[in-house]
Amino acid sequence: MIKKKISIINKLGLHARAAAKLTKCACEFSASVQIGYAQREIDAKSIMSVMMLAAAQGAEIEISCEGKDEEAAMQSLEALINNRFDEDE
């Protein structure tokens, strides 16, 4: 299992479109992907759970990946978040 803390840097945080992209990315891997925020831990492959986190810009989340492709999953999720979910801001 690998874990990493990542800050949400896009202007709107984990709004619906960003949550959908994050969930889609997590679902591309067989590894289990969890997100911890505000003393909650959710399944990143569930869009409703990701949206319920309501992580705004500046929030620090902790991503945990476990499985045979955990490193690839972490790299892909980290790149998506650091690229502001492919949004302008």
DSSP string, 48-82: HHHHHH---TT-EEEEEEESTTHHHHHHHHHHHHH
pTM: 0.94
Q: Pairing between strand 32-37 and 60-66?
A: antiparallel
Q: Are 34 and 70 in contact (CB under 8 A)?
A: no
| Domains recognised in the chain with CATH numbers | 2-86 (3.30.1340.10)
* pLDDT of the residue at 46: 98
At residue 89, the pLDDT reads 73
- Residue 52 phi, psi (nearest 5): -70, -20
36-84 pLDDT, tens digit each: 999 999 999 999 999 999 999 999 999 999 999 999 999 999 999 999 9
pLDDT value of residue 18: 96
Residues annotated as catalytic (active site), given as ranges: 15
